[in-house]
Amino acid sequence: MSSLKSSIYPDGDPLAVVTAPPPDESPLERDERLSSEKAAQKRSDAIDEEIARQRIAEKKAPKVVKVLLLGQSESGKSTTLKNFQLINSPKAFRQERASWRAVVQLNVARSIRIILDIMTQAHAQQTQRQHPVASSSMSSFESLQRPDVVYPTLTAEHLKLKMRLKPLLQVEEALLRRLSPGNTVEFEATQLTVPTSLPYPDRNYKEPSVNSAVHWKGAFGRLLTPNEQRASFDSEQGIDFDDPKDPGLVLHNCREDMVHLWNDPTVKELLKVHKLRLEDLSGFFLDSLDRVTALKYVPSDDDILRARIKTLGVSEHRFRLKAGNMVSHDWRVFDVGGARSLRAAWAPYFDDMDAIIFLAPLSCFDQVLAEDSSVNRLEDSMSLWKSIVSNQLLKSTDLILFLNKCDILKAKLESGIRFGTWVISYGDRANTFEGAANYMKKKFAGSFKTNSPEPRPFYCHFTSVTDVKSTTHILENVKDTVVRKNLQDSNMV
Residue list for the binding site: 305-311, 404-407
Contacts of 364 (CB under 8 A, 6+ apart): 74, 377, 378, 381, 405
CA atoms within 13 A on the CB side of 450: 9
Question: What is the amino acid identity at position 485?
Answer: K
CB 178 within 8 A of CB 102: yes
CA atoms within 13 A on the CB side of 314: 16
d(CA 410, CA 424): 19
The counts of H helices and E strands in the chain are 18, 11
d(CA 292, CA 108): 9
d(CA 423, CA 31): 79
Alpha helices in 319-432 (DSSP H): 377-389, 406-414, 419-422
> Among candidates 454, 463, 122, 95, which has minimal Cα distance to 267?
122
> Among candidates 418, 451, 459, which has minimal Cα distance to 436?
418
Please classify residue 110 by burial: count the beta carbons closer than 10 Å to its beta carbon, then call 0-12 exposed, 13-18 middle and 19+ buried.
buried
> Among candidates 402, 405, 309, 400, which has minimal Cα distance to 366?
405
Residue 423 C-alpha from the chain's centroid: 27
d(CA 431, CA 443): 17
310-312/205-211 β-pairing? parallel
- Residues of the binding site for Mg(2+): 311
- Residues of the binding site for GTP: 305-311, 404-407
Contacts of 24 (CB under 8 A, 6+ apart): none
d(CA 86, CA 301): 8
